[in-house]
Amino acid sequence: MSMHFLADTAALTGRSMKHVTRSPDTIISTAIMPVAIMLLFVYVFGGAIETGPQAGSGSYIDYMLPGVLLITVAMGVSYTAYRLFTDLQGGIFDRFHSMPIARSSALWAHVLTSLTANVISVVLVVAVALAMGFRTGAGIGEWLAVAGILALFILALTWVAVIAGLSASSMEGATAFSYPLVFLPFLSSAFVPTDSMPGPVGWFAEHQPVTAIVNTIRDLFTGQPAGDGTWVALAWCVGIFVVGYACAAVTYRRKIS
């Protein structure tokens, strides 16, 4: 990785971040829906939802927060697809490619901007959760592990968003890919244990990636041993990242050729 690429990526990331800071409503709106979900489930549905021993001795918000964080990320990456689509339609990429800059730096700038913006949104959601009563016995090591898993998850979904942004023919199409991603945590262990679900639904919920990631983050927050589930969660994140990156790179080459 050359210094030329790093310098170009840093400069273009600064440009993308300026757009985000000039329009902070994108970060705020990304955090609003997850906060609304927390309020709804904790104060309306929380008393009627039985989470069993998986909830430990904590409150329902302790149980559901990991899933809400993944929903926050799924909503946030849709803005990456939107910004990428807007740049393509506006001819910004053609302008960049006529300049002496590394071609891939324009793409990586959007990815790093997504990582930064989503981290801010996640921090906002955690702050609200703490105000609502979320408590954890996690130490610095566990918090760093949670941060690492979430960062990897953000990068993995961001490359999926890049594919959508490069392939879409309309603004609506660029962001519509995120709808299934937002819905997926509801078919996982994010809000209720998977063994409380009907057979086929429970089987799908138990074996889809969100459940492994949610359970790992929940175990880290509660100080319980994550066991093999951690490696399953990491495998899903790395797998999605690698496949997303490879497909995005191919799509990008075809788009600019």
For 234-252, what is each residue's pLDDT tens digit?
Answer: 999 999 999 999 999 898 8
The residues spanned by each domain of the chain are 3-45+54-256
Whole-angstrom Cα distance, residue 205 to residue 57? 24
pLDDT surpassing 50 at residue 226:
yes
* Percentage of residues in the chain having pLDDT higher than 90: 40
Q: Which amino acid is at 71?
A: I
Q: 149-153 long-range contacts, Cβ below 8 Å, gap at least 24? A: 149/213, 149/216, 149/217, 149/220, 149/233, 149/234, 149/237, 150/69, 150/73, 150/119, 150/122, 150/217, 151/115, 151/119, 152/234, 152/237, 152/238, 152/241, 153/70, 153/73, 153/213, 153/237
pLDDT over 50 at 133, yes or no: yes
Which residue, 209, 153, 218, is CA-closest to 191? 218
When pLDDT is cut at 50, 70 and 90, the band that residue 57 belongs to is very low
Average pLDDT on 139-154 reads 94
- pTM for this predicted structure: 0.88
Poorest-pLDDT segment among 27-31, 56-60, 110-114, 216-220: 56-60
Distances (CA, A) of 75 to 27, 33, 135, 196: 10, 9, 25, 27
User: What pLDDT score does 229 carry?
Assistant: 83
